[in-house]
Amino acid sequence: MKRIDLDDLPPKLAAVLTSAEPGEEVLLVQGGAVVGRLTGGARESAPASQADPDQPAEERAKEIFEVFRSSIEDEF
């Protein structure tokens, strides 16, 4: 799995990625064309029994967007 550390991104970009609500879409645009799309929401690939309820919301958001980014990179 590919990983993006939000600490390595510009603060505005990290804020956009972590603030997406479940079901809200974030478009990835390059040269005026949409090259990808991220959808906020719960991590679908992890069963609920494996979710850590004590994990901070920021850490959960990071994991969610890591999965989305990885799937986008796999498609392109």
pTM exceeding 0.95: no
In this structure, is residue 17 part of a structural domain?
yes
Q: What is the pLDDT of residues 23-67, one digit of tens each?
A: 888 888 889 898 888 888 755 555 444 555 666 777 878 888 888
In this structure, is residue 68 part of a structural domain?
yes
In this structure, is residue 63 part of a structural domain?
yes
Number of domains in the chain: 1
> How far does CA 61 lie from the centroid of its chain?
7
In this structure, is residue 20 part of a structural domain?
yes
In this structure, is residue 1 part of a structural domain?
no
Range of the domain at 16: 6-45+53-75
In this structure, is residue 35 part of a structural domain?
yes
In this structure, is residue 59 part of a structural domain?
yes
Buried b / exposed e across 52-75, counting CB within 10 Å, b at 16+? eeeeeeeebbbbbbbbbbeeeeee
In this structure, is residue 22 part of a structural domain?
yes
